[in-house]
Each structure stands twice: as structure tokens, then as C-alpha cells.
Amino acid sequence: MSAPATTSALEVRGLTKRFGGVVAVDGCSFRAPLGQVTGLIGPNGAGKSTAIDLISGFKLPDSGTVLFKGMALQGLPPHRISRLGLMRTFQSPREWPGLTVLENVVMARWDSGRESFVGGLLGLRGAQRNTAADELSRAREILDEFGLLALRNERAGNLSGGQKRLLEFARIRMAAPELVILDEPMGGVNPVLGERMALAIEAFIAAGTSVIVVEHNLPFIKRVTEHVIVMAQGAVIAEGSFDSLRSNQDVVDAYLGEMVT
């Protein structure tokens, strides 16, 4: 069975989610191109995080469709969606606090459905043991890339906020999903890490992971994205290159409330 040909990593059609009287996401539709970095921006309360929750199965939409690899994700729980190759991060980094940094990275593979690591640990077959050794060495290599190798035996819960972000990026590198959605990766992070994160995003793309990134840091959005989608009041109000949006009056107006407060 072959998947239908598509040039979208993700397509969202008419997503809607109400919380009581609040329409958090209101007929939101967009496509994120395959093999590119798509920015998702908009003022606080625009519905960006809720849209991510709907896409990744953490909340159920009232209506609308999410197509990933041409397949409707309707009703699938988060772990099934991540095993299909769609990962997401949260505004606050989430790690396994009691596990070591190295274990966290190795688990990223297991989380995304490659259970060979666990099979290898059980020692049932030589080939599986080799796989486990390969995965450990791959995890060390990735930690080195992110400057976290010296911390590999530290409990992840003891890391600083910035280090937890880097660990999250290392986990994405390890899992190598087809699409990752990053929710405000620069939030609370020392700007020095920004360049490292931008390079990591380039590495995701080089490894075949398409990226959607929600971020308030507009220089970062300009630096890393090829295409930007602007949300306001639950819907998409504009899209295009970052530079084309700066001269778009609707976009400037949507941001104004935030800029003057």
C-alpha cells in the first residue's frame, strides 16, 4: 500500500475548538510544506498552542481535519501520532526527570516506536544487542553535538532551563521524526542558545524532518523559516515569507495590541 503523493508535511483544514464560550481555534486551515521550516506566529491567545494540541492528539477538535502524510489523524491518541512520525514539544520543556540525560535521549527512539532498543537490552538476540549498542553510541554522538555529553549521567530533572531545551532538541535528533512542531523553543532561553537552536533546526531539515515552529522571537523566525503562517483569533489571517508579512497591514494590526502593552 503506498501513501498518496503529497508535498505537504501537514495539512490542517477547518480546525475548530471551543472552551465554553471561547473559540480558541476557529476554522484554522494551512499547509506546511515538506522539507521546510514553517513559522507559526500570532499574538498571545491567537490559538497557536491549542492548534498544536489538536494536531498532536492532546485535545480533540470540535470539527476539522488534520492530514499527516495524506492520512487523517482524527481521534488518534498522542502516542500513536508520535509513532507515525509527528513529534511536538511544549512551551515548558518536558523530560523524564528521574532518568539520566543519556537515557532520555535513548528513550526518544523508543517513544517513537522503535522498540529494538528494549529488545536489545533484553539480550534475546545478537542482532538486537548490536542495535542497542548502535543506539547508545548514536545518543552519545548527539549529546556531543549539543554540548551535553559531559552531563550524560546527570538526572535530566537537575538540568537548567536552557539545557532542558537542548535535551529536547537532542531527543528530536534521536527520534528523527518526519515532522516536529516546536512550541516557543526560545521561551526563557538565553539568546546565546538561539544560534545553536537555529543550527539544530537546519540539521533537522537535513535529516528529513520537516519543522513547524511557534515563536514570539521574530528575528529567530526570520532566521530559520522559509514560510510563515500568521494566526489571530483562532484563524489564519496571512501567510508568506517573513519579509512579505512585515508590510502586511492585517499582520501589523494583529500584533499592535501586543506591541503597545
In this structure, the number of other CB atoms found within 10 A of the CB of residue 60 comes to 10
CA 131 to chain centre: 26
Q: How far is the CB of 214 from Mg ion (least distance, A)?
A: 6
Q: How far is the CB of 135 from ligand ADP (least distance, A)?
A: 34
Whole-angstrom Cα distance, residue 217 to residue 194? 10
Whole-angstrom Cα distance, residue 90 to residue 14? 23
Binding mask 6-35 for ligand ADP (x = CB under 6 A): -------------x--x-x-----------
Binding of Mg ion at residue 49 (CB under 5 A)?
yes
Query: Which amino acid is it at 207?
Result: A
201 or 214: whose CB is closer to ligand ADP?
214
Binding of ligand ADP at residue 240 (CB under 6 A)?
no
Binding of ligand ADP at residue 93 (CB under 6 A)?
no
Query: Which amino acid is it at 6?
Result: T
Choice from 44, 92, 137, 241 touching ligand ADP (CB under 6 A): 44
Q: How far is the CB of 192 from ligand ADP (least distance, A)?
A: 25
User: What φ, ψ does residue 78 adopt, rounded to 5°?
Assistant: -50, -40
Q: How far is the CB of 42 from ligand ADP (least distance, A)?
A: 6
The one of Mg ion, ligand ADP, none whose footprint includes residue 50, by CB under 5 to 8 A per kind, is ligand ADP
The one of ligand ADP, Mg ion, none whose footprint includes residue 19, by CB under 5 to 8 A per kind, is ligand ADP
From 46-54, 163-171, 221-229, 235-243, give the range in contact with ligand ADP by CB under 6 A: 46-54
Q: b vs e for 3-15, b when ≥16 Cβ sit within 10 Å of the residue's Cβ?
A: eeeeebbbbbeeb
The one of Mg ion, ligand ADP, none whose footprint includes residue 46, by CB under 5 to 8 A per kind, is ligand ADP
For the stretch 42-45, contacts whose Cβ atoms lie closer than 8 Å and that sit 24 or more positions apart, written own/partner, are 42/230, 42/231, 42/232, 42/237, 42/254, 43/232, 43/254, 43/255, 43/257, 43/258, 44/258
- The residue ranges that bind ligand ADP (CB under 6 A) are 19, 22, 24, 42, 44-50
- The residue ranges that bind Mg ion (CB under 5 A) are 48-49
